[in-house]
Amino acid sequence: MRAFSHLILVAALAAAPALAQVYEPPKADEPEPEESLESGIENFLNNLLGQAQPHLDRLGRDLGDTLGSVAPVLQDIGELMDDVRNYQAPERLENGDILIRRRADAPPPPPVGDALREMLRPAPEDDPRLNPPMADPDAPRPLPDPDPESEIAL
């Protein structure tokens, strides 16, 4: 029995160098698994940005156009808020509104600019001067005059 245990010990010791020769350490120029994960994420994000690039360009152009059309209005608003010292501290109301009152001893505010005045002008359908409200809003509206060309003869 003792010889058998020596034989197993010798076989195990002889197999160890054989197992050690099978293992090869990774080469220095091969990426480690962590680097391949990073490169995979990088490729995914590059592809995502590549596909989104035309849409982002269009969005940038549209926002630039919008900002260009709103810039005169923002300039007029900036001119209206002439000097911060002409205003009291902001005050929050119970309903959540915030009021910023002009001081009584402040000089009169500058006139409203044309761009801001144009933006604040109501649309024609919302202007009560152009579309006076009906006496009874629940009353049926009158039908337009019939157009003979669109009538169907029965």
47 close to 41: Cβ distance less than 8 angstroms: no
Helix (H, G, I), strand (E, B) or coil at 91: strand
- Reported as a pLDDT band with limits 50, 70 and 90, residue 4 is low
Which candidate, 130, 82, 72, places its Cα nearest to that of 103? Answer: 82
The CB-side HSE value for 96 (13 A sphere, CA atoms) comes to: 0
Phi, psi of 129 (to 5 degrees): -70, -30
Closest CA to 73 of 39, 116, 20, 31: 116
> How distant, in Å, are the alpha carbons of 47, 129, 142, 144, 146 from that of 149?
58, 33, 20, 14, 9
Q: Structure pTM?
A: 0.35
pLDDT tens digits, residue range 37-56? 788 888 888 898 888 888 88
Cα separation of 57 and 131, whole Å? 42
